[in-house]
Structure 1
Amino acid sequence: MKKLLIIAFLFIGFAGALHSQQNCAVILKEAEKMFDNGVIENVPALLDECLKNGFSKDEKIRAYRLIIISYLFDDKKDKAEEYMLKMLKLEPEYEINQSVDPSEFISLLDKYRTLPVYSLGVFGGVNYSAIRVTQIYGVNNVSNTAYEYNSSGMGYQFGIRVNRYIYKGFEASAEFGLAQSNYEYIDSLYDYAVVSFDEKQTRIDIPISFTWQLELKKIKPFVRVGFNNSLMLNAFGTSVRRYTDNSHRDITGSDIGLDEFRSKYNASVIGAIGAKYKIKRGHLFLELRYMYGLMNQVNENNRYSSPELIYKYYYIDDDFTLNNYMLSFGYMYSFYKPKKKDI
């Protein structure tokens, strides 16, 4: 019995709300006809009750617009400003229609801040490592060494980003992300052996950057510059010594922890290009970034402290910086706080 009563009350409430919404839809059409006939002074009072409870979001926006224009044409600027703020709080991304919005309405809207205050989002992607050697070391005569560094497959990165809008077209960004980068070292030794060394590094990246974008309609190209702080979480390597003359079996082993041989902190400068695609209350973005490492990756105090690397694999770390090409895709949700611009 109780369940039946609850269902009955819910049905009655739903039916009442639906009836109220249908009545308000009729009232909105009636107000629009009154406006078209020039009876603008009665429009706000007619719509006021339905604005409190009865309109859908789209109907509310239509009603607010109608009230604002009515007050503007009735020379009640303060009331027009009051309802303009209400409309922008409901729909901060209101798009002007030049063919139907009167110039008075457009002029008033232009006096309000309609850009997002900040945005919050996520990103993820892949990266490609590029090593820059600053000093060569080795167990052989390094003046005759034939070494090379390559990327050993794609790394990855993902994280969160906060954008703070500074001015139209300009924003500041802070990120917190996790990244893994890979590279490979190959060197020929003594005309009979080839040493290969694969390293994977996992780090926390905390970039601070500034962006300038072209304020186009849907797709907004941008450029970014900034500075990145990196904290090493872990690093490990896998080494192999192969005999090209087949005189011995290849020398292999398990992964070698490299944490003590790497600098814990690294700094990089950032340059990036990309594009944003505007969607409702936010945007999608695609970004190609280059991070140029500024600091030596090697802990120089521990360069010679691994007998396994030196005597088993004939490997000694060069001084090098780690640079990365990073391709990321992400989504940002925008937060607004409409208000009248300071004059």
Structure 2
Amino acid sequence: MKRVLYVLPFAFFAFTAHAQLTSCAQTLRLARSTYEQGRLHEIPELLTRCLEDGFSQQEKVEAYKLLCLAYIYLEEPAKADEAMLNLLRTDHYFEINQTTDPAEFIALYRTFRTHPIYRLGVKLGANASQPNVVSYVAANEGTSKYSPGISFQGGVAVEVPLNKKLTLDTELNFILKTFKYENKVTYNEIATGDPRDFTIIGQENQTWVTLPVILQYRFLESKFNPYVGIGASLDYLLSANNKFSRTKEQAASLDEQSLSLNDYRNRVNASAIVALGAKMKVTGGFAFLEVRGSYGLTKLNDTADIYALYAKTLPTGGYVDGIFKMNTLSVTLGYVYNRFNPKKLNK
């Protein structure tokens, strides 16, 4: 008996909810029929209760559309505007049908802002960094070469659509970069005259925060919406460190050492950016894939930095790198979510 008493309230509520949903579905059918019969003044009263509570989202969209059409033909523009605004707030992706929608409805729709005002998103990816050597100093003897390293990055993005083709993208990124350096000097042994190799191998690891601003141009409207981008970035070097070792042919090698390079690197830098990507609509936004090239515009070090670093490491071999800028190629995946704020546009 107690179980029955517990179950009865839930059954009653379920029955009531089902009855209300059924009733509102019937109300929408009645409103549709009433509109087709031209009894426009009856439609607002028919729909009010279920618009407050009872319609599904899809039913609400149709109800607001009927309400908007009724007010258009009743020549009540303020109420037609309100109904259109409620429609767009209910379904941000509502689109007019050029074939079946009345011209008056289409004209009213076009007086509202219907596109997203901005997008918020996140991105993750990998990068390869390669120093672009501008010059070497006299202390750098022998042959030097740099090779790229692979590391990771992530960030947040805010996109502002300017029109159907142009989007302004601003980001805050946290980026790890790494590369390797090798310097080999060949000399003749004093005692024997035999050639010997003296090699220093280092790996530099850097941590950056970057603030890029990029103008994206969508050159084809399709499922994948390909785009190109061009922009610039303000980059701040949080930290840099180096692990290096020395080998000397037929002599004792130097164990690997770690060295902070914070005092020998310029912290604030700038880069030029080019990008190629694609965006695919997913639920309320876009999933995207982007390949980006970042070309360093400023030098990460100068002659004074190099000689200061050389003096510090001279007792253990003397680490001498070049004066360089930093180039980076990255591949990122991400998602941006559309944010809407429909409103009546000023004439």
Tell me the TM-score normalized by structure 2.
Answer: 0.87
In structure 2, C-alpha distance between the alignment counterparts of 1:138 and 1:316, rounded to whole Å = 10
Residue deviations 1:258-302 (CA, integer Å, cap 9, x gap)? 111111111112221212212332211211111111111125444
- Corresponding residue for 2:261? 258
- Corresponding residue for 2:191? none
TM-aligned CA deviation for residue 195 of structure 1: 2.4
TM-aligned CA deviation for residue 6 of structure 1: 8.9
Are 2:175 and 2:207, in contact at CA under 8 Å, matched by a contact in 1?
yes
Residue aligned with 2:308, SS: coil
- Can you give the 5+ residue segments of structure 1 that lack an aligned partner in the other structure? none
The within-5 A match list for 1:57-76 is 57-76=57-76
Residue 116 of structure 2 corresponds to residue 111 of structure 1 = no
Residue 154 of structure 2 corresponds to residue 150 of structure 1 = no
In structure 2, C-alpha distance between the alignment counterparts of 1:187 and 1:4, rounded to whole Å = 86
Are 1:171 and 1:211, in contact at CA under 8 Å, matched by a contact in 2?
yes
TM-aligned CA deviation for residue 75 of structure 1: 4.3
- Corresponding residue for 1:26? 26
Q: Identity over aligned residues, as a percent?
A: 29
In structure 2, C-alpha distance between the alignment counterparts of 1:97 and 1:197, rounded to whole Å = 64
- Corresponding residue for 2:274? 271
Report the AA paired with residue 122 of structure 1: V
- Corresponding residue for 2:339? 335
Are 2:166 and 2:216, in contact at CA under 8 Å, matched by a contact in 1?
yes
Residue aligned with 1:49, SS: helix
Are 2:140 and 2:321, in contact at CA under 8 Å, matched by a contact in 1?
no
Report the AA paired with residue 44 of structure 1: P
Report the AA paired with residue 292 of structure 1: Y
In structure 2, C-alpha distance between the alignment counterparts of 1:229 and 1:11, rounded to whole Å = 63
Residue 174 of structure 2 corresponds to residue 178 of structure 1 = yes
Out of 219-228 and 115-124, give the one that drifted further: 219-228
Are 2:161 and 2:168, in contact at CA under 8 Å, matched by a contact in 1?
yes
- Corresponding residue for 1:187? 183
In structure 2, C-alpha distance between the alignment counterparts of 1:230 and 1:5, rounded to whole Å = 68
- Can you give the 5+ residue segments of structure 2 that lack an aligned partner in the other structure? 187-195
- Corresponding residue for 1:304? 307
Report the AA paired with residue 336 of structure 1: F
Are 2:219 and 2:228, in contact at CA under 8 Å, matched by a contact in 1?
no
Are 1:138 and 1:317, in contact at CA under 8 Å, matched by a contact in 2?
no
- 1:4–1:200 Cα change, 3 Å: farther
Residue deviations 1:224-282 (CA, integer Å, cap 9, x gap)? 22221111111111213234xx4124333232221111111111122212122123322
TM-aligned CA deviation for residue 33 of structure 1: 2.9
Residue 244 of structure 2 corresponds to residue 239 of structure 1 = yes
In structure 2, C-alpha distance between the alignment counterparts of 1:224 and 1:7, rounded to whole Å = 61
In structure 2, C-alpha distance between the alignment counterparts of 1:293 and 1:18, rounded to whole Å = 64
Residue 294 of structure 2 corresponds to residue 291 of structure 1 = yes
Determine which of 207, 219, 244 is the counterpart of 1:202: 207
Are 1:260 and 1:299, in contact at CA under 8 Å, matched by a contact in 2?
no
Report the AA paired with residue 322 of structure 1: M
TM-aligned CA deviation for residue 155 of structure 1: 1.5
Are 2:245 and 2:257, in contact at CA under 8 Å, matched by a contact in 1?
no
Tell me the TM-score normalized by structure 1.
Answer: 0.88
Residue deviations 1:191-234 (CA, integer Å, cap 9, x gap)? 51332221110111112232233472543222222221111111
- Corresponding residue for 1:90? 90
In structure 2, C-alpha distance between the alignment counterparts of 1:192 and 1:292, rounded to whole Å = 34
- Corresponding residue for 1:163? 159
Are 1:304 and 1:310, in contact at CA under 8 Å, matched by a contact in 2?
no
